[in-house]
Every structure is written in C-alpha cells, then in structure tokens.
Amino acid sequence: MRGRAIGNFAMGGAMAFGLAVGGLTVGAVAGATTQAQAQQTIRVGWTIPAEESKYWMMRRPAEFPDIGKAYKIEWVQFQGTAPMTQALAAGALDCATQGVLSLAQGAASGNLKAYIVAQHVYEKPGGFSVYWAVKDDSPIKTIADLKGKTMAINVLGSGIYGPMALLLKQNGVDPEKDIKLVELGFSLSEDAVRSGRVDAAPMNQPFAARSEAKGGMRKLFSLSEQQKNIVHILDACRADFVDKNPDLVKAYVRDLTLGMKKALANREETLKVVNEIMKAPIPVLETYLLKDNDFGRDPGAAPNFPAIQQMLDTYAATGMIPKKLDVSQFKKDGIVAPLQ
C-alpha cells in the first residue's frame, strides 16, 4: 500500500537504523554514501509494519553470514512507500520496500526503472484483508448505503484506493462524487468511526485486532471482494544498480529469502523482533501476527507476478496510472526470491 500512514501507535516507537530519516531530503540521503561505498553497500529503504524479513536482518544480523562480510546494508527508514519511490528514482536508494501502486506510478512517469526482487505480504484466502468498518448501530448496511457519507482512507491516492473505488462503482456509488473521502492514518480509524467523525474507515493490523477485541464495530466490505491475493508490499531494486551489481543484489535477495524463512519458522522470536522495531506490545502482536487473521507471507518471499499484473490493470482502469503496464518489465531472471 502506498504511503502506509501507520500513525502514532507504530511510528512513534519505531527504531531507526543507519540513516533513519523520516523527512530527510533525497539529496541528504544520496550524499551520505560515496560512490566507492555503493559498490559494496546497498542503501535499503524500509518502513513499518509487515516487513519481518528485513526486521530480522536488522535486529538479528548474526543470523545472516553475508551481512557485514560479503556486503553491508545502510538502512534508511521512511514513513511510507511513495517517498521511497522518489528516492529510488533519484538514485538515493538502491533497493526499497514498495507498494504496487507507488512502483507503477514511478515506472509510468518514466522516472523509475526497477526490478521486483521479493514480496513481503499479501492477502491470502481466508486470511486478513484490509476492510472498511462502521459502528454496529450504523444505518449503513451495504456499500450502496455509503452514498452521501464520509469515508476515510489511509492516504489519499493510496494503493487500497483502486480496489475500493471499483467496489463502490460496482454498487452504484461514484467514489469521486457520491462520498466525501478524508485522509486518516490507520491508527486513527477506530476512534474516528466510534466518535462519528467518519462513517466508515479502513482497518489494518494491528489496529483491526485491537478494535475487534473491544467490539462495537463491524466489517462493511473488504478488499478481497474485489480481488483475491492482493499484494500489499514488495521489495524492488533500481534496474541500473542491479545490472551493475548482480552478485551484490543476489546476496541481498538471498538474505531476504532467509529472513522470511526465519520469521515464519520461529514465531516466538519474530514477536520479539517486531516488538523491538515497532514498540508494539507483544500481547497485541500475539493476537494476530503470523496467525490466520494476519496477512499471508510466501515462505520463500516469492513475488506473485500474476496478482501484481491484475493490480496494475485495476490501477489503469481507475485512472491511478496513466497507461497499462506489463509486469514483465519488473522481472529480472535470476535475481528474484527465493534465492538460496
């Protein structure tokens, strides 16, 4: 999801590594690493939540024999994927977490050529799907009832807008004219609905689990109703960097693969790792992380290219990107997870 506005619950306690920049300018990031260093160091953008393979690489580097020996990582924290797209396009990052929409917009503008090298989370069948919630006693019973109402979204123009807009249109609601859409971070969604400031708001983990435990709210619709297997975040590297440093990037992708395996194999340790990164209490993480009510994670961090193509088609159909894109332009044989 582009620009994941997670809010104070997570971002307020996030730990930064290397250049933890938040609002640091692209020029400042670029100037921090010399050309000589770039040959053996990968500048990697990251954010929260749902990047467990990276969190393992950051917090448990001893588990990865190549890190610090075969190559180094300069971690750069951002508050969303869209700024990382800009940093990639400017050459200030080599690899970064991306949403499908932000990556597509960068590519469609002609400013960014990149390869998808791994995938972090997706919406697995029967698992968690981002959904819009209303109060239990709300008169809004169906999507059609949203006409004339106020809806929230995490970031205006974010990746979840496309599927949401299509669902509204399919139910006779024009997302441009029939609703008022306001920007609201995921951490604020629950309170905004309960207080009546908005009629419906999107719920993401861990905030959905927290809200569901309290009760008094119900799911109106979820993104899985528009598309199954939505890919929320992936990892991408600049094409020019990959082409010049294939072995270096392969080492990085091998560690992303290994990090995903470690995260899934040792849930107890993963809870500790995520707690160290997000500062979210382990009892809260325990209610959903790596359980059936969480996002799905491919065991080898393999990108689901057919699902990504479907998302690109959705974004083109809703005008979120100016032209159709073929997912093949984001593929580089031999440099994509899983790598051993």
pLDDT band at 301 (very low <50, low <70, confident <90, very high): very high
Nearest to 119, CA basis, from 339, 293, 304, 313: 304
pLDDT band at 320 (very low <50, low <70, confident <90, very high): confident
Contact (Cβ atoms closer than 8 angstroms) between residue 337 and residue 253: yes
Measured CA angle at 85 (ends 83, 89), to 5 deg: 120
- Mean pLDDT for all residues in the chain: 87
205, 225, 245 — which closes off a domain? 225
Domain range enclosing 218: 131-225
Answer yes or no: is pLDDT of 98 > 50. Answer: yes
Q: Tens digits of per-residue pLDDT, 137-147?
A: 999 999 999 99
198, 225, 252 — which closes off a domain? 225
On whether both 94 and 242 belong to a single domain, the answer is yes
Q: How is residue 15 annotated by DSSP?
A: P
On whether both 26 and 104 belong to a single domain, the answer is yes
In a domain, 34, yes or no: yes
In a domain, 58, yes or no: yes
In a domain, 137, yes or no: yes
SS3 119: strand
Distance CA(65)–CA(59), nearest Å, equals 14
On whether both 139 and 115 belong to a single domain, the answer is no
Q: Tens digits of per-residue pLDDT, 151-196?
A: 999 877 677 888 898 899 999 999 999 999 999 888 899 999 999 9
On whether both 23 and 171 belong to a single domain, the answer is no
Domain count of the chain?
A: 2
On whether both 85 and 185 belong to a single domain, the answer is no
Answer yes or no: is pLDDT of 32 > 60. Answer: no
On whether both 26 and 106 belong to a single domain, the answer is yes
In a domain, 2, yes or no: no
In a domain, 1, yes or no: no
pLDDT band at 21 (very low <50, low <70, confident <90, very high): very low
In a domain, 21, yes or no: yes
In single-letter form, the type of residue at position 295 comes to F
On whether both 239 and 297 belong to a single domain, the answer is yes
Nearest to 71, CA basis, from 240, 254, 258, 203: 254
pLDDT band at 122 (very low <50, low <70, confident <90, very high): very high
On whether both 205 and 235 belong to a single domain, the answer is no
On whether both 240 and 92 belong to a single domain, the answer is yes
In single-letter form, the type of residue at position 82 comes to A
162, 191, 225 — which closes off a domain? 225
Please report how the helices 81-89 and 100-108 are oriented relative to each other, as an axis angle in degrees rounded to 10: 30
On whether both 112 and 20 belong to a single domain, the answer is yes
Nearest to 120, CA basis, from 95, 91, 93, 83: 95
The pTM of the full predicted model, rounded to 2 decimals, is 0.81
On whether both 234 and 323 belong to a single domain, the answer is yes
Residue 105: CA count within 13 A, CB half-sphere: 22
On whether both 117 and 50 belong to a single domain, the answer is yes
Answer yes or no: is pLDDT of 338 > 50. Answer: yes
In a domain, 103, yes or no: yes
Beta strands, E only, the chain = 19-20, 41-46, 72-77, 95-98, 114-122, 131-135, 150-153, 180-183, 201-203, 217-222, 231-238
